[in-house]
Structure 1
Amino acid sequence: MGEPLGVGMIGAGAISAQYLKTLDSLSGLRLVAVADLDRARAEQAADDRQGVRAVTVPELLADDAVDVVLNLTLPAAHANVALAAIEAGKAVYGEKPLATTTVDGQRILDAAGMAGVRIGCAPDTVLGTGLQTARQALDAGHVGRPISATATMVTPGHELWHPNPDFYYRRGGGPLFDMGPYYVTALVSLLGTVTSVLGVGTRMRGDRHIFSGPRRGEVIPVDVDTHVSGILHHRGGAVTTMVMSFDAVRTRAPHIEVHGELGSMVVPDPNRFDGPVEIFTLGDDDWTTHEPSAGYIDGQRGIGLLDFAETPTGVEPRTGGRLALHVLEVMEGLLASATAGRVVQIATSVERPAPVPLTRLDSRPGLRAV
């Protein structure tokens, strides 16, 4: 059995609560330090956990007990924090997206390669029973050769519930960069790498009103497209149609639907770890629900960090940097296509991550050093 992996968390905002729950429940991961620009937030996270220290970012990066930096900062800071951690000789596992530009994402991977450390990146929902069961069914040929897919995410905007939604409407935000990583990561896992994209983008209005918290009623500016539609061409021949919107109210469309020569499959919400997989094949009278057959049972935010840590040296993690960079380029390519009005070729490519067997978290072996 290996020693628990020492985790230093940078960023103690809203998403950190979900990661802290995972860190508290898995013996193979040990939180040792927390840093945040708001010292009080770091202290609160540390005070609730025995042996965890609230520190500055430089102190965290210099701490020999920190094996991997969990980067939960705002998207605009992802690249700078990751590069600083790499320079300190730390592995990095971060929230999505990897960076706000493909150039910065490539800088992270290049620096990590030079330093001999590994990069991992959310979303890790793709490791849950929902998407992994869908992938197993697809690989087993239940719908035949994939022809097309649809991916739909519709919401009127996060300002309805988030007390500080500003970053959702700045560079690196919007529906595509916020929710797109879940969908594109799932689509690449199911259908393979993307070779070209065509996109269009619009925004309904130039500002938004905050509806909750102490800033209720405050008006914030919108600097990004808030409705993005696109077409993704996968190397294997399948074509995906995407709609990502902060401007619409509701939809009955499946989150993801895959169509093949022999049938169609409804894939559960890629922002969740579980959910039903439904298949309708030629000759059937109704949809059939497939029982979970692959993936982490009862997965939660941060399980990707455990999976990342257990990946043998020299093997690309399932939620590794190369996948995150490809997803980033696909999203940036869609926005570039919307601006230029033409098809954009995707330069990066990635093999589909290894599938996850049906696994209970308490059955995992000891962790290896990152």
Structure 2
Amino acid sequence: MGQPVNVGVVGCGAISAQYFQTIDRLPELRLVAVADLDLDRAREAVRPYAGVDVLSVAELLADARIDIVLNLTIPAAHAEIALQAIAAGKDVYCEKPLAATAEEAAGMLRAAGAAQVRVGCAPDTVLGTGTQTARKAIDDGLIGRPIAATATMMTPGHERWHPNPDFYYVPGGGPLLDMGPYYVTSLVTLLGPVASVVGAASRTRAKRTIGSGPRQGEEIPVTVDTHVTGVLVHTSGALSTLVMSFDGAATKAPNIEVHGETGSLVVPDPNYFDGSVLVSGVGEGDWRTLPVAAGYVEAGRGVGLADFASTPVGEEPRTSGSLAFHVLDVMESLLASAHSGAAVTITSTCERPPPVNLTQPVDQR
């Protein structure tokens, strides 16, 4: 008790820097070792952090010091690395999505259950003050019974800024699998699990051109849908309309709106931890900003890992594998509906994660 949880990280790509910064400032976590197929990249990634070992993947998974493996590999490798970590008897926390397919993710959870280890998964942005303040407003009855929501993400595509965007345009990527976890996880946090979906999708072009970095100008193939839309029917009866696109220039639509019988909420961008929550009641006309009332204050990527690590054994973590699996199942079913033209019943479910009370940042080490 009182000792930090030792973390080993597999994958030192672009997102790893944000995790390393958060781990470094949270006393309940300790970064012990990292691994990457490119050892030079791994060394450069942890250069600011003294005492962190750079190992091969096999060495890291075999390291008896490590309690949790933080899996920051590309989506296509999530299941492979997670299964190896589970076989080594270690808890696993994955970057989103949980796996490239729901079938792979189900195999991970079965293996974890058999090995009596835990699986957690991003996104953890829903634990910040933005989504949690909105959730508290809903739970407190501020807008009455929720009846509908809209969630919109519209961008021309990540190849404009990412130097190696290939994985965004292969299975496990696309706007839905890449950005959808933020939005669907937020919708489940706000409104509860999903019972069925109906969707439609399109793909505007077969190739994309890299816009930055050493590969600038190179064309990469597109093998996934790049505009996905649909309706999620929550078990509560609320209906969420979802639009996820790599084909739009811009949008003025709120990232998420929730509409209740007596009012409506504007929920901040679920890709971030904070942001203003706006409310307007029936007949009010104007929007007013709610005070911050719940969530981790000044959170960064990795706060969900700390929340996961500190959840007592036997309790469901807020960033649980079952939540991530349900979100992946919803997204995969939405794509299946888009291709079949028929509504799809969601066979999985999950508990609505417990709320986060307003929690001030801890002192840095």
Could you say which TM-score interval applies, normalised by the shorter chain? Answer: over 0.9
What CA RMSD, in Å, does the superposition of the two structures yield over aligned residues? Answer: 1.0
Map 1:36-185 onto structure 2 (within 5 A): 36-185=36-185
1:154/1:250 contact within 8 Å kept = yes
1:120/1:319 contact within 8 Å kept = yes
Q: Distance in 2 between matches of 1:191 and 1:128?
A: 17
Map 1:317-356 onto structure 2 (within 5 A): 317-356=317-356
| TM-aligned CA deviation for residue 48 of structure 1 | 3.0
Q: Distance in 2 between matches of 1:71 and 1:324?
A: 14
Q: Distance in 1 between matches of 2:177 and 2:183?
A: 10
2:25/2:363 contact within 8 Å kept = no
2:315 alignment partner AA: V
Q: Distance in 2 between matches of 1:153 and 1:119?
A: 28
Q: Distance in 2 between matches of 1:267 and 1:49?
A: 35
1:181 alignment partner AA: P
Map 1:206-285 onto structure 2 (within 5 A): 206-285=206-285
| TM-aligned CA deviation for residue 130 of structure 1 | 0.1
Q: Secondary structure at the match of 1:228?
A: strand
1:293 alignment partner AA: A
1:61 alignment partner AA: L
Q: Secondary structure at the match of 1:93?
A: strand
Spell out structure 1 runs of 4+ moving beyond 6 A.
none
Aligned equivalent of 2:196: 196
| TM-aligned CA deviation for residue 45 of structure 1 | 2.9
Q: Distance in 1 between matches of 2:324 and 2:27?
A: 27
Q: Deviations over 1:142-193 (max 9, x none)?
A: 1100111000000000011000101000000000000000000000000000
Aligned equivalent of 1:29: 29
Matched, 1:304 2:317: no
1:157 alignment partner AA: G
Q: Distance in 2 between matches of 1:133 and 1:47?
A: 37
Q: Distance in 1 between matches of 2:209 and 2:231?
A: 31
1:151 alignment partner AA: A
1:250 alignment partner AA: A
1:299 alignment partner AA: A
| TM-aligned CA deviation for residue 228 of structure 1 | 0.2
Q: Distance in 1 between matches of 2:115 and 2:236?
A: 34
Q: Deviations over 1:28-51 (max 9, x none)?
A: 111111100001011223443222
| TM-aligned CA deviation for residue 26 of structure 1 | 1.2
Q: Secondary structure at the match of 1:199?
A: strand
Q: Distance in 2 between matches of 1:32 and 1:353?
A: 29
| TM-aligned CA deviation for residue 363 of structure 1 | 7.2
TM-score, structure 2 normalization: 0.98
Q: Distance in 2 between matches of 1:182 and 1:128?
A: 12
Q: Distance in 2 between matches of 1:333 and 1:361?
A: 38
Q: Distance in 1 between matches of 2:309 and 2:11?
A: 20
| TM-aligned CA deviation for residue 281 of structure 1 | 0.5
Question: Bigger shift: 78-87 or 276-285?
Answer: 276-285
Structure 1 stretches lacking a partner, 5+ long? 365-370
2:34 alignment partner AA: V
2:354 alignment partner AA: A
Q: Secondary structure at the match of 1:201?
A: strand
1:221 alignment partner AA: P
Amino-acid identity (%): 63
| TM-aligned CA deviation for residue 93 of structure 1 | 0.5
Q: 1:107 to 1:140 in 2, by over 3 A?
A: same
| TM-aligned CA deviation for residue 211 of structure 1 | 0.7
Q: 1:51 to 1:349 in 2, by over 3 A?
A: same
Aligned equivalent of 1:368: none
Q: Distance in 1 between matches of 2:262 and 2:268?
A: 20
Q: Distance in 1 between matches of 2:287 and 2:55?
A: 53
1:234 alignment partner AA: H
1:169/1:221 contact within 8 Å kept = yes
Structure 2 stretches lacking a partner, 5+ long? none
| TM-aligned CA deviation for residue 239 of structure 1 | 0.4
Q: Distance in 2 between matches of 1:363 and 1:43?
A: 27
| TM-aligned CA deviation for residue 57 of structure 1 | 0.6
1:202 alignment partner AA: S
